[in-house]
Amino acid sequence: MSGAKQRTETVLVVGVFDLFHAGHVKLLEKARALGDRLVVIINGDQLTASYKRQPVTLEADREVMLRSCRYVDDVEISNDYSIRDAIVRHGVTQVVHGDDWEIESYKKQIRCDDAFLDEHGVRLVLLPYTPGISTSDIIQACADRVTDFKVAANGR
């Protein structure tokens, strides 16, 4: 038996995690199964608003929800696109995202090129996106219900 220390597999997932839902949980469960530790970076309110929309749930509340998830070992909030520092600090071996992103586009989003990933021994893994549920779908369903309630209230 060898005395060599086995490398810890640390998986990193980056996302907004607004209106935390079953699709998020399934992604985190699958990501955690790929390694020994799961670190989550929450895209902060300022960063998210700069490329998407203002999150419905505040970043501090999203952090509380993610810390309560049994698959997650560590959580931090970032308002920076680059995840390079987190990769180095946490000894990340895999970066995981849903396959709703094209891989080259995702590497640009997280400011990591092949040279950096190779230098640090990091694999980029895209897991299947959970069909039928998304934060955007939840927001739209809420808007539709508000409209339905208003129509029903006016019809009385």
Q: What is the DSSP code string of 2-61?
A: --PPPPP-EEEEEE--TT--HHHHHHHHHHHHTSSEEEEEEEPHHHHHHHT---SS-HHH
Tell me the pLDDT tens digit for each residue of 13-55.
Answer: 999 999 899 899 999 999 999 999 999 999 999 999 999 899 9
Contact criterion met (CB below 8 Å) for 49 and 94: no
Contact criterion met (CB below 8 Å) for 132 and 49: no
Other C-beta atoms lying within 10 Å of the C-beta of residue 11: 26
pLDDT classification of 151: cutoffs 50, 70, 90: low
Residue 96 resides in a domain: yes
Domain count, the chain: 1
What is the average per-residue pLDDT within 74-90? 98
Residue 68 resides in a domain: yes
| 46 closest CA partner among 19, 77, 89, 12 | 77
- Dig out the tokens for 78 from the structure: 């970032």
Residue 126 resides in a domain: yes
What is the average per-residue pLDDT within 84-105? 95
What is the average per-residue pLDDT within 98-124? 95
- Dig out the tokens for 139 from the structure: 């927001």
Task: Sheet with 94-98: list strands edge to edge.
Answer: 74-78, 37-43, 10-15, 94-98, 123-127
Share of the chain above pLDDT 90, in %: 71
Query: Residue 21 belongs to what domain range?
Result: 10-130
The per-residue pLDDT for 134 is: 79
2 pLDDT above the threshold of 80: no
Distance separating alpha carbons of residues 15 and 54, to the nearest angstrom: 14
Contacts of 57 by beta carbon, 8 Å cutoff, 6+ apart: 18, 19, 20, 65
Residue 136 resides in a domain: no
pLDDT classification of 145: cutoffs 50, 70, 90: confident
Q: Provide the whole-model pTM.
A: 0.87
What is the CATH number for 34? 3.40.50.620
The per-residue pLDDT for 84 is: 98
What is the average per-residue pLDDT within 97-125? 95
pLDDT classification of 3: cutoffs 50, 70, 90: low
Q: Give residue for tokens 């208003």.
A: 150
What is the average per-residue pLDDT within 60-89? 98
* 38-42, 51-55, 81-85, 136-140: least confident range: 136-140
What values do phi and psi take at 98, rounded to 5?
Answer: -70, 155
